[in-house]
Amino acid sequence: MAAKYLIIGTGGVGGSIAAFLALAGHNVTCIARGAHLKAMQEDGLKLKSGLKGEHTVHINACTAEEYSDKADVIFVCVKGYSIDSITELIAKAAHKDTLVIPILNVYGTGSKIQSKVPQVTILDGCIYIVGFVSAPGEITQMGTIFRLVFGARKEDNVPYEKLQEVQKVLQESGIKAPISDDINRDTFVKWSFISAMACTGAYYNVPMGEVQKEGKIRDTFIGLSRESTAIGKALGIDFTEDPVAYNLKVIDKLDPATTASLQKDLAKGHESEIDGLLFDLISKGDQLGIEVPTYKLLAEKFN
C-alpha cells in the first residue's frame, strides 16, 4: 500500500513539500484553513517554482478537525507559536509506525513535540527554501534551493532504514534530503541563520540583496551570526564549519529579492515568530552568560 503523507501547515514550506510530493505521484493530504484551503479544494494547489515551473496539483485538503485518516509520514510546517495547537492532530493522525518530521525555524521543536505526544516517533528537521503563499491556493518557490535536512535525535532509537525510505521519496520528488548525523547541530545552525536573516531584514525592512552588500546591514547580520554561534558553543554544539562563514555563504546564494516570513508577517501586522527568532536568543544568551549586544539593539525596535 502506498505511503500516506500529511502536511500540517500548507504555507510556503508545507505547500512546496506537498506540491513536489504530489507531482511525483504520492498520496498527500494538506491541512489548511480559510481562503487558502477553500481555493485548494476548489481549484487545486497552484505551484510557481524556480525548480519545477508552474503546475496545478489536485490534492486532498481539509481542516485539522476534518482529518480522520492515519498518515505514515507527517511533516509539521506551522510557525513556532502554533506548536501547542497541533499536538492533538498529531496524536490523532499517527499510527504506531508513523514518523513525524517538524520543520520549523525555531530550535528544539522535535523534543518539545515529543514531550507532548510521547507515544509517537518525532524526528527533527530544518529546511532551506524560499517559499511563500502568493495568493489563496498558490505557492511560490523562488530560486533553486530546496534542501530538507532531517534525522533522529541521538537519544532516540529510530531504524536508519526508515529514515532512508523517507529520504528516497523526497529525493525522487526533487527535494534534496540529507539525513543528518547530528540533527541537534543542524537545527541549531538553521536557527542561527534564519534568526540573523529574518531579524536583519525586519529591522532594516530590506530584502536580502541589501544584506549581500558590504556595509552596516551586512555587519548587523554578521554580528547576529557571531552572537548565536557563541550561544551554540556554550550549549555544546559541535560545529563542523564556522557558522558565520556558513551563514554568509547561504545568504549570498539567495535571490536578492528574498524577504523572510518574519518580515512579511510584521509588515502585515500578523502574528510572527519574533519571540522564537529574536527574544528567545536573548534569553538563551542571558541564561548562559553570553553577551548579545546586536540582538539587544534590534530588540529595542520590537519591544
Q: Where exactly are the structural domains of the chain?
A: 4-181, 185-302
Other Cβ atoms within 10 Å of 87 Cβ, number? 17
pLDDT score for 302: 87
Q: How confident is the model at residue 2 (pLDDT cuts 50, 70, 90)?
A: confident
Report the candidate in 19, 79, 135 with the shortest Cα–Cα distance to residue 261.
79
The model's pLDDT over 248-292, given as tens digits with 9 standing for 90+, comes to: 999 998 889 988 888 888 888 887 889 889 999 999 999 999 999
pLDDT score for 130: 87
Q: Is the pLDDT of residue 165 over 90?
A: yes
pLDDT score for 50: 94
Report the candidate in 250, 252, 295 with the shortest Cα–Cα distance to residue 276.
295
pLDDT score for 105: 81
Instruction: Give exposure, 250-261, as e/b (b: 16+ Cβ within 10 Å).
Output: bbeebeeebbbb
For domain 4-181, which architecture applies? 3-Layer(aba) Sandwich (3.40)
pLDDT score for 89: 95
pLDDT score for 157: 83
Other Cβ atoms within 10 Å of 76 Cβ, number? 28
pLDDT score for 77: 94
What average pLDDT does the segment 64-84 reach?
Answer: 90
pLDDT score for 101: 97
3-class secondary structure per residue, 83-145: HHHHHHHHHHHEEEEEEEEEECCCCCHHHHHHHHCCCCEECEEEEEEEEEEEECCEEEEEEEE
What average pLDDT does the segment 53-80 reach?
Answer: 95
pLDDT score for 155: 78
What average pLDDT does the segment 195-217 reach?
Answer: 95
The model's pLDDT over 31-63, given as tens digits with 9 standing for 90+, comes to: 999 999 999 999 999 999 999 999 999 999 999
**CATH homologous superfamily of domain 185-302?**
N-(1-d-carboxylethyl)-l-norvaline Dehydrogenase; domain 2 (1.10.1040.10)
pLDDT score for 255: 86
Q: Is the pLDDT of residue 108 over 90?
A: no
Q: Is the pLDDT of residue 81 over 80?
A: no
pLDDT score for 254: 87
Q: How confident is the model at residue 237 (pLDDT cuts 50, 70, 90)?
A: very high
Angle between helices 216-234 and 243-253 (to 10 degrees): 140
* Grid cell of 91 as nine digits: 496524536
Report the candidate in 13, 244, 4, 245 with the shortest Cα–Cα distance to residue 125.
13
* Grid cell of 296 as nine digits: 539587544
Q: How many residues does the chain have?
A: 303
Regarding pTM above 0.85, the answer is yes
pLDDT score for 174: 97
Q: Return the SS3 of 242.
A: coil
Beta 124-135 vs 138-151: how paired, if at all?
Answer: antiparallel
Q: Return the SS3 of 284.
A: helix
Q: Do domains 4-181 and 185-302 have the same CATH topology?
A: no
pLDDT more than 90, % of the chain: 81
- Rg (C-alpha) for the chain, rounded Å, is 19
